C-alpha cells in the first residue's frame, strides 16, 4: 500500500500536530502504521467495516497487537457493518481483544432495543495509546482502496492528530463504550470539547445533538469571503439553506461540491431539489466526476477547516453519532481549500438552465424523493 501524504499536508497548531489524509491511499497506511506501533492501547469505533480484503487486513493488524498484550477495543455499527460476518472477529477475540456491536438489529441480541433502532453510530475513530487519533469519512472496506489494488478508489478525506486534542477522541470512544454497557478505564476522562483552543473535536451524540450543526451555522454566519462545502448527502433543512443564502447576500461566495455519482440513488434524487434551490439563489454547485465522492469537509474563509463524518442530512442531525475535527488555522484552511480546488477541477459546474432541462422522469423521482429526505 502506498505511503502517506507529503509535508504540505502536515501542520502544527498550538500543541497539536495534524496531517490531512487524502483517500484510503493515504489514510489506511497511516492508520495501520499507528496500530503496528501501539504499545498499550488501540481503540477503533467504525460505522462500516467490511469482511473483505481491507477489513481482514485491519482485523489481522488488531489481532497481532492484542497478541502482544495491548488492550484492543473495537465497536462497529450493526447496520453499517451488516454485511461483515461476526465470525471475522473471532481471531481478535481469541487473542484477548474486545469487540462490541453497536445497536443490534436482531431481537435475539442482548442489547436490542426496538425504540433505538434508528439511532446509529456513524463515527470513524481510531485512537492509539491516547496519543494519536484519526477521523474522517473513510470506513474500512475495499471501496476506499486504489483501483490498482482492487478497490473503487472512493474520494474521501481524513485527518490524523497527535497532541492534547486526542484526549477528547479517546473520551468520546469510551462514552460510546460505556453506553453499550461495558466497563471503561479509570483514566478514560470526560469529553470536554476544549482540550485545545484551535483544534476542536465536535460531536452531536450523548446529549450534544446539535453540536456539529451549530458549528457549521456559526461559521456560515461569520464568513466574509468564501464558503466551500463538500458533502455526499447534501440534504440540509430550510434553516441551513437560509443561512447560506444570507451569507450570499453579504457578498460571500458559496461553493458546494456534491457527487456526480451517488452511492444511494434515492438520496441523489432528493438532492436534486436542494441543488435547484441553491442554483436559483446564485450559489455555485459542482458535481464530482469519475469516482464516488464521500468526503465531508468544509472551509470558511482562511479561518476554519473541518473534516469528519457528519453528513448534512436529517440522519446525521437527528439520529447518528458523528465526529468532526475543526481546525481554526489559516494554513490548514488554505491547504484544505487547495484540495477542494483540485476536486473542482475534476467536477462539472451545474447551471440553472441545465437543472431546468432535466428529463420528466428525473423531475418526477426528485419530486417523489424530496419529502423522504427526513428519513434518508
- Residues annotated as catalytic are 122, 124, 129, 294, 296, 301
Helix, strand or coil for residue 212? helix
Residue-level length of the chain: 376
Distances (CA, A) of 89 to 48, 69, 73, 129, 132: 14, 17, 11, 21, 24
Which of left, alpha, beta for 264 (phi over 0: left; psi -120 to 50: alpha)?
beta
How many Cα atoms sit within 13 Å of 324 on the Cβ side?
Answer: 28
Name 183's Cβ contacts closer than 8 Å, sequence gap at least 6.
none
Strand partners, 49: 140
Question: First vs last Cα of the chain: how many Å apart?
Answer: 34
> Which stretches does DSSP call E strand in 67-168?
71-77, 98-102, 120-121, 124-128, 132-136, 157-162
Beta strand 320-321 pairing with 199-203: unpaired
Classify 78 as helix, strand or coil: coil
> C-alpha angle with apex 47: 215 to 293, nearest 5 degrees?
70
Can you tell me the distance from the alpha carbon of 86 to that of 83, in angstroms, rounded to the nearest whole number?
Answer: 9
What is the signed CA dihedral for 59, 93, 308, 341, rounded to 10 degrees? Answer: 0
How many of the other CB atoms lie within 10 Å of CB of 235? Answer: 24
Amino acid at each position: 500500500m502506498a505511503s502517506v501524504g507529503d509535508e504540505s499536508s502536515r501542520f502544527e497548531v498550538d500543541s497539536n500536530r495534524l496531517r490531512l489524509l487524502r483517500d484510503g491511499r493515504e489514510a489506511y497506511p497511516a492508520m495501520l502504521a499507528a496500530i503496528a506501533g501501539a504499545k498499550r492501547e488501540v481503540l477503533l469505533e467504525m460505522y462500516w467495516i467490511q469482511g473483505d480484503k481491507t477489513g481482514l487486513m485491519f482485523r489481522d493488524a488488531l489481532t497481532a497487537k492484542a497478541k502482544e498484550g495491548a488492550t484492543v477495543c473495537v465497536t462497529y455499527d450493526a447496520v453499517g457493518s451488516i454485511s461483515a460476518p461476526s465470525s471475522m472477529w473471532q481471531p481478535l477475540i481469541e487473542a484477548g481483544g474486545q469487540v462490541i456491536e453497536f445497536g443490534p438489529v436482531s431481537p435475539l441480541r442482548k442489547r436490542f432495543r426496538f425504540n433505538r433502532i434508528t439511532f446509529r453510530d456513524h463515527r470513524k475513530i481510531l485512537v492509539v495509546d491516547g496519543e494519536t487519533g484519526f477521523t474522517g469519512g473513510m470506513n474500512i472496506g475495499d471501496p476506499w482502496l486504489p483501483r490498482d489494488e482492487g478497490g473503487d478508489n472512493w474520494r474521501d478525506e481524513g485527518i490524523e492528530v497527535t497532541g492534547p486534542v486526542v484526549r477528547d477522541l479517546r473520551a468520546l470512544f469510551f462514552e460510546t463504550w460505556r453506553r453499550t454497557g461495558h466497563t471503561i478505564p479509570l483514566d478514560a476522562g470526560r469529553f470536554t470539547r476544549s482540550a485545545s483552543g484551535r483544534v476542536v473535536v465536535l460531536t452531536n451524540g450523548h446529549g450534544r445533538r446539535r453540536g456539529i450543526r451549530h458549528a457549521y451555522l456559526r461559521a456560515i454566519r461569520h464568513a466574509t469571503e468564501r464558503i466551500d462545502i463538500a458533502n455526499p448527502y447534501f440534504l440540509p433543512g430550510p434553516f441551513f439553506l437560509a443561512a447560506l443564502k444570507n451569507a450570499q447576500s453579504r457578498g460571500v461566495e458559496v461553493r458546494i461540491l456534491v457527487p456526480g455519482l451517488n452511492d444511494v440513488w434515492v438520496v441523489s434524487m432528493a438532492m436534486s431539489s436542494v441543488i435547484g434551490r441553491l442554483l436559483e439563489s446564485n450559489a455555485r454547485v459542482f458535481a464530482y466526476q469519475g469516482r464516488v465522492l464521500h468526503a465531508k469537509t468544509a472551509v470558511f474563509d482562511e479561518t476554519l477547516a473541518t473534516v469528519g463524518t457528519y453528513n448534512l442530512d436529517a440522519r446525521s442531525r437527528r439520529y447518528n453519532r458523528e465526529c468532526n475535527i475543526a481546525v481554526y488555522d489559516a494554513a490548514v484552511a488554505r491547504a484544505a481549500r487547495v484540495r477542494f480546488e483540485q476536486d473542482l477541477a475534476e467536477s462539472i459546474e451545474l447551471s440553472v438552465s441545465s437543472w431546468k432541462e432535466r428529463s420528466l422522469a428525473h423531475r418526477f423521482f426528485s419530486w417523489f424523493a424530496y419529502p423522504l429526505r427526513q428519513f434518508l
